[in-house]
């Protein structure tokens, strides 16, 4: 066992500093975002069915659980990675898109279970997540095309067209540069891609079921259209609180019919509230724990 002097000043840890700063930012973002929540409106529409809450919890954790499966297959990490991936989700949702990936890369570098360079795997998983999301967006838009007349797009049709062009363009760029872009093996890439596809199908289906719990008499065409719009908005980079944005866009395109705008506002508020509660809890845990020197962001 190597002996180390105990009277020397400990070196400055950038990982520890970044973790503390992110924890404080999450708390600040949570407090700031509270102004967007009307608790009375959310509570008034909330179902009491246990099935609703079980589906909601599953939908919220679908991203971290699917990525935990991926990174366990790639790196053999333990259950602590699930907590790290939940933090990644919170940072992306409350602070800035893809900030979570940067933080998770820092966490992976500090994790003693990971013996390979983590950058390539984190990058490939993020790129394939975007590609699978783009593909499912185009599939859902094609499925929803027959019902497009149900929406009042008005002047927003050009925005939808440009958004679709962005989705197609980014996918084409990735396909053209795929040989020099990816670091994982073909079998690993296939595994990651299909896990992402399964996660998107699951989360989209869960969203539809949650909507149907609240408004069971709404025609299925509306759910297809809204699911396609939700996926389209989720493809926009660097946009936090995408569910709040989605609720606003849906309110403009659907209008007051069938209380859909109220439903989506309720769901957006519920998701934001969950992000705030989980994010604040994790941030306070980090601050109270003091973030140890050996594993500052675990």
pLDDT score, position 62: 94
Q: Is 296 helix (H, G, I), strand (E, B) or coil?
A: coil
Q: Is 88 helix (H, G, I), strand (E, B) or coil?
A: helix
User: Could you write out the DSSP letters of every residue in 269-283?
Assistant: HHHHHHHHHHHHHHH
Q: Which residues, in sequence order, are CB contacts of 231 under 8 Å at separation 6+?
A: 133, 136, 137, 140, 200, 204
Q: What is the pLDDT of residues 190-212, one digit of tens each?
A: 999 999 999 999 998 898 888 88
Q: What is the pLDDT of residues 44-70, one digit of tens each?
A: 777 888 889 999 999 999 999 999 999
Q: What is the pLDDT of residues 231-262, one digit of tens each?
A: 877 776 656 666 766 766 666 666 555 567 67
What are the extents of the domains in the chain? 47-287
pLDDT score, position 228: 79
Number of alpha carbons in the 13 Å side-chain half-sphere of residue 235: 28
- What span, in angstroms and rounded, lies between the C-alpha atoms of 164 and 96? 22
User: Could you write out the DSSP letters of every residue in 155-180?
Assistant: GGHHHHHHHHHHHHHHHHHHHHTHHH
List the chain residues with pLDDT less than 70: 1-39, 41-42, 96-97, 112, 147-180, 236-242, 244-245, 247-259, 261, 290-298
């Amino acid at each position: 066992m190597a002996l180390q002097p105990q009277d020397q000043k400990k070196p400055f840890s950038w990982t520890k500093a970044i973790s503390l700063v992110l924890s404080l930012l999450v708390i600040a973002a949570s407090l700031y975002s509270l102004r967007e929540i009307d608790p009375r409106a959310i509570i008034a529409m909330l179902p009491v069915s246990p099935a609703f809450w079980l589906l909601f919890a599953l939908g919220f954790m679908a991203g971290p659980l699917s990525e935990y499966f991926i990174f366990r297959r790639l790196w053999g990490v333990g259950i602590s990675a699930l907590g790290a991936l939940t933090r990644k989700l919170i940072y992306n949702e409350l602070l800035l898109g893809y900030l979570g990936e940067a933080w998770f890369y820092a966490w992976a570098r500090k994790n003693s279970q990971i013996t390979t360079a983590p950058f390539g795997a984190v990058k490939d998983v993020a790129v394939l997540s975007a590609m699978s999301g783009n593909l499912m967006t185009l599939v859902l838009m094609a499925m929803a095309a027959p019902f497009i007349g149900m929406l009042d797009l008005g002047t927003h049709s050009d925005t939808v067209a440009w958004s679709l062009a962005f989705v197609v363009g980014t996918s084409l760029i990735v396909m053209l540069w795929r040989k020099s872009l990816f670091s994982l093996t073909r079998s690993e890439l296939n595994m990651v891609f299909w896990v992402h596809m399964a996660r998107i199908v699951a989360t989209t289906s869960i969203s539809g079921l949650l909507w149907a719990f609240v408004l069971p008499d709404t025609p299925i065409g509306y759910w297809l259209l809204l699911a396609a719009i939700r996926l389209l908005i989720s493809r926009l980079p660097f946009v936090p609180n995408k569910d709040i944005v989605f609720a606003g866009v849906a309110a403009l395109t659907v209008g007051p019919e069938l209380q859909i705008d109220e439903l989506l506002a309720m769901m957006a508020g519920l998701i934001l509230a969950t992000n705030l509660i989980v994010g604040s809890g994790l941030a306070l845990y980090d601050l109270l724990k003091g973030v140890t020197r050996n594993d500052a962001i675990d």
